[in-house]
Chain A
Amino acid sequence: MRSRIIKGIEKYSNQWVALDSKKTKVIVGGKSLEDVMVKMLGVEGKPVYMRVPRLDTAFAP
């Protein structure tokens, strides 16, 4: 099962995001993990958090 590009994630290069539980779309984004977790308070569902790497460059950690 190949995954598809997460919907809307291109707007969040180099930021933290909360994804829906199936990782199909971005729910909220922010500059820090804490910021995103605060934005998710009271939102239904179980988010998956992700630090989006820069998307305009290759990534070689």
Chain B
Amino acid sequence: MSKSPIELFYTTLPIINDKRQITGSVARPMIDIILNYKHGKMVGPVQALIDSGADYNLFPEEVASIIGVKLTNGVLRMTEGIGGKTIKAYRHSGIKMFVEGHSFVTSVDFSEEVTVPLLGQQGFFNKFDSVTLLRQKEKIILKP
């Protein structure tokens, strides 16, 4: 039996100048997710950015420590980002991710060099039949 699509909306953030005055805005495909590891402490909902250009889920280390994941126990992976900068991340499997009423077990790369949680192709996109971004409507449709 197919599950119903999950409909979510973009989050709009301001653009500010050096005087902290709002000069514009930008809508981003950010969604609420909850993480849990080995039936331990849950964290969230936390906003994470759907990033179709990211190969894997990539989260800041501080999220790992809250759910009881020891960073360096993971598998070391080097990740190259924009501008060719390479960062050190540790891949952990067995992370349970909840998106609205849908949940799945996935892997997450955690890094001390990342700030905003990113949802990538392996571990997020591949957990859904489709991930659709309707930019003009600022709507996100996840089809489990």
Residues of A within 8 A of B (CB): 1-6, 9-11, 13-14, 23, 32-34, 37, 46, 48-53, 55-56, 59-61
Chain B residues in 8 Å Cβ range of A61: 49, 51, 53-54, 58, 81-82, 116, 118
Question: CB distance B12 to A4 under 8 Å?
Answer: yes
Whole-angstrom CA separation of A52 from B30 in the bound complex:
11
Question: CB distance A5 to B25 under 8 Å?
Answer: yes
Chain B residues in 8 Å Cβ range of A2: 9-10, 12, 27, 138
B5 at the interface (CB under 8 A from A): no
Question: CB distance B12 to A3 under 8 Å?
Answer: yes
Whole-angstrom CA separation of A53 from B63 in the bound complex:
16
In the complex, given contacts A1-B139, A49-B47, what are 17 additional A-B residue pairs having Cβ atoms less than 8 angstroms apart?
A2-B10, A2-B138, A4-B12, A10-B14, A10-B21, A33-B66, A48-B45, A49-B44, A49-B45, A51-B47, A51-B115, A51-B117, A55-B13, A55-B16, A56-B15, A61-B53, A61-B116
